[in-house]
Structure 1
Amino acid sequence: MLQILARGGGDAVRDDTFSERLGTIPHPKGQEILVKVLATSINPVDTKVRMRTPSSTHVVLGHDTNGMIVDTGEEVTRFKKGDHVYFMGQGKYPGSFAQYQLADARTAALTPRISSYAEAAVLPVVTFTAYDALFTRLGYISAGYANTGKTILIIGGAGGVGSMAIQLAKWVGLTVIATASREETVDWCKDMGADFVITHHGDLVDQVRALGIQWVDSIFCTTHLSAHWGAMAELIEPQGAIALIDDPDGPLDIRLFKTKSARICWEFALVRTMYETSDMQMQGFTLTKIAQLIDSGKIRSPLTETLYGLTVRNVQKAHIRQESNTMVGKQAIIISP
C-alpha cells in the first residue's frame, strides 16, 4: 500500500521533507479494524508532530480518517466489513496519509449518513476536541438549550476546533463570544452561529465589556494562549472554568487566577488512546453522538478546501496551508474515489 512519509523536523516547503513508501497492508487482531482510507484531513497536531520528531525518523502522519472497514479482529462486535467509519488516529498505529490504516474499534463510529467523504474526514479531531472541552472539561450539559443564560468566550473561532466549538455551544444554549482577526474570519464565525465576534488583535477585556458583559462563565482558548493569559484572568467569572489546547510560549503566572478560584484544565483529544484509559470507548461513543448531530442538522462540517489524491505534493500543500496561519475551517484530502 502507498504511504506518505514525513521527515522529522523537516520544513514543509522543502521537497525532501515528504516522500512515498510502499508498505505492507497490516492484518487486524483483537479489537482492531483495518480501514481503507477514503479521505483524510490535517490538523495542527500533524505539523507539531512533524517538527518535534527527530530528523533521523520518518513518520506517517494523519490523525483524521474517514474510510471503509475491509477486515476486523476476532474481538470486534460493533462493526462489520463494509461499514463506513470515521475516527481519530492512535499513536501506536501509522497515520491516515496512507491507503489503509489500523484502528482500535472502540475509538471509531459510523460515518454521518449525510456527509461526503471530505466533509466527514475533517470532523474527528476538531469536533471531538470541542465536544470534550465543552462537556467534559468545562462541565456543560450536552443537550439542546440546556445551558441557556451562560456565556462562553471562544478565542480563535475560525479554526477547525473553534468552528465546531461555536456550533456545539449554540446547540446547548450558550451565548457565544468568538474572536477573529480578518473580515473573512469574522464572517465565518457569524456563519457558525457566534452571537458576538471581537478581534483578538485588540484588547479583549475592553471589547467584551463594551458588549455589556462584565465576566464570562467560561473561556475556551484555542490559540495564542500566552498573549491572552492576562485578559482571560480579567474576564473569567469568579469560580468560572477555562479550557486550553494551545501550547504556551513559555512559563505563565497561574497566580493571576487565584482570587477568582477559577478552574483551569487542558483538553487533549488523544489522551484516552495515548494512555489507553479505562474510558477509551468514550471516543467512539462521542463520535457517534457527533454523527447524530450532523445528520439532524444541529451542526455541520467545517470543510472549506479539498485536495484530490494521495500524493507527496498534496500532503506538502496541506502542511504549508496549515502552517500559514490563514486557514479558515478545515481542508481534506480525498484518497480513494
Structure 2
Amino acid sequence: MLQILARGGGDAINEETFSEKLGTVPTPHGHEILVKVQATSINPLDTKLRMRTPSSEQIVLGYDTSGIVVDTGDEVTHYKKGDHIYFMGQAKYAGSFAQYQLADARTVAFAPKNCSEAETATFPVATFTAYDALFNRLEYISAANANTEKTILIIGGAGGVGSMAIQLAKWAGLTVIATASREETADWCRDMGADYVINHHNNMMEQIRELDMHWVNSIFCTTHLSDHWGTMSELIEPQGAIVLIDDPAGPLDLRLFKTKSVRICWEFALVRTMYDTPDLQMQGFILAKIAQLIDSFQIRSPLTETLYGLTAKNIQKAHLRQESNTMVGKQAIIISP
C-alpha cells in the first residue's frame, strides 16, 4: 500500500519533508478493524506533530478518516466488511495519509449518510473536539435549545474547530460570540451561525460592552491562547468556565482568574485513546451522535478546499495551507475515488 511519510522537524516548504513509500497492508487483531481510506483531512495537530517529531524519524500523519471496512479482528462484533465508517486516528497506529489504516472499532462510528466523502473526512477531529469541549468540559447540556440565556465566546471562529463549535453551540441554544479579524472570516462565522462577531485584534472588552454584555458565561479559546489570556480573565463572568485547546507560547499566570473562581480546563481529542481510559468507547459514541446531527441537518461540514490523490505533493500543499494562518474552514484530501 502507498503511504506518505513526513520527516520530523522538516519545513513544509521543503519538498524533501514529504515522501511516498510502499508498505505492507496491516492485519487487524482483537478490537481492530482495517479500513480502506476513502478521504482524509488535515488539522493543526498534523503540523504540530510533524515539527515535534525528532528529525531522525519519519511518520505517517493524518487523524481524520472516512473509509470502508475491509477486515476485522476476532473481537469486533459491531462492524463488518463493507461498512462505511469515520473516525479519528490514534497515536499507536499509522495515520490516514495512506491507502489503508488500522483503527480500534470502539472508537469509530458509521459515517453520516448525507455527506460526500470529502465532507465526511472534515468532521472527526474538529467536530469531536468541539463537542467534547462544549458538552463534557464546559458541561453544557447536549440537546437542542437546552442552554438558552447562556453566552459563549469562541476565540478563532473561522477555523475547523471554531466552525463546528459555533454550530454545536447554536444547536444547543447558546448565544454565540465568535472572533474573526478579516471580512472573509467574519462572514464565515456568521454563516456558521454566530450571533455576533468581534475582532480579536481590537479591544474585545470594549466590543463585548457594545453588545450590551458585561461578561460572558464561558469561553472556548481555539487559537493564540497566550495573546488572549489577560483579556479572557476580564471577559469571563465570576464562576465562569474556560476551555482551551491551543498550546501557550510560554508560562501563564493562573492568578488572574483566582478572584472570579473560574474553572479552566483543557480539551485534547485523543486523551481517551492515548491513555486507554475507561471511557474509551465514548469516542465512538460521540461520533455516532455527531453523525445523527449531520444527517438531521443540524450541523454541516466546514469543507472549503479539496485535493485529489494521495501524493507527497498534495500532502505538502495541505500542510503549507494549514500553516498559512489564512485557512478558513477545513481541507479534505480524496484518497480513493
**TM superposition score normalised by structure 1:** 1.00
Matching residue of 2:15: 15
Matching residue of 2:153: 153
Which consecutive residues of structure 2, in runs of 5 or more, have no partner in the other structure? none
Matching residue of 2:66: 66
Matching residue of 1:247: 247
State the AA in 2 paired with 1:287.
L
Matching residue of 2:28: 28
State the AA in 1 paired with 2:174.
L
Q: CA RMSD in A?
A: 0.4
- Partners of 2:287 and 2:38 lie apart in 1 by 18
The CA deviation string for residues 170-223 of structure 1, in whole angstroms up to 9 with x for no partner, is 000000000001011000000000000000111111111111000100000000
- Partners of 2:31 and 2:271 lie apart in 1 by 19
Matching residue of 1:172: 172
State the AA in 1 paired with 2:135.
F
Q: Classify the secondary structure of the residue corresponding to 2:297.
A: coil
- Partners of 1:294 and 1:198 lie apart in 2 by 27
- Partners of 2:200 and 2:120 lie apart in 1 by 29
Q: Classify the secondary structure of the residue corresponding to 2:115.
A: coil
State the AA in 1 paired with 2:281.
Q
- 1:229-308 matched pairs, under 5 angstroms: 229-308=229-308
1:305 shift after superposition: 0.3
- Partners of 2:184 and 2:324 lie apart in 1 by 15
Which consecutive residues of structure 1, in runs of 5 or more, have no partner in the other structure? none
Q: 4+ runs of 1 displaced by more than 2 Å? A: none
Matching residue of 1:141: 141
- Partners of 1:277 and 1:77 lie apart in 2 by 21
Matching residue of 1:54: 54
- Partners of 2:158 and 2:164 lie apart in 1 by 9
Matching residue of 1:326: 326
- Partners of 1:140 and 1:43 lie apart in 2 by 25
- 1:77-92 matched pairs, under 5 angstroms: 77-92=77-92
Matching residue of 1:195: 195
State the AA in 1 paired with 2:85.
V
| Structure 1 residue 224 corresponds to structure 2 residue 224 | yes
**TM superposition score normalised by structure 2:** 1.00
Q: Classify the secondary structure of the residue corresponding to 1:16.
A: helix
Matching residue of 1:111: 111
- Partners of 1:86 and 1:320 lie apart in 2 by 25
Q: Classify the secondary structure of the residue corresponding to 1:297.
A: coil
| Structure 1 residue 124 corresponds to structure 2 residue 121 | no
- Partners of 2:131 and 2:15 lie apart in 1 by 37
The CA deviation string for residues 37-61 of structure 1, in whole angstroms up to 9 with x for no partner, is 0000000000000000000000000
State the AA in 2 paired with 1:84.
H
Q: Classify the secondary structure of the residue corresponding to 1:260.
A: coil
Matching residue of 1:99: 99
The CA deviation string for residues 55-84 of structure 1, in whole angstroms up to 9 with x for no partner, is 000000000000000000000011110000
Q: Classify the secondary structure of the residue corresponding to 2:153.
A: strand
State the AA in 1 paired with 2:170.
K
Aligned length: 337
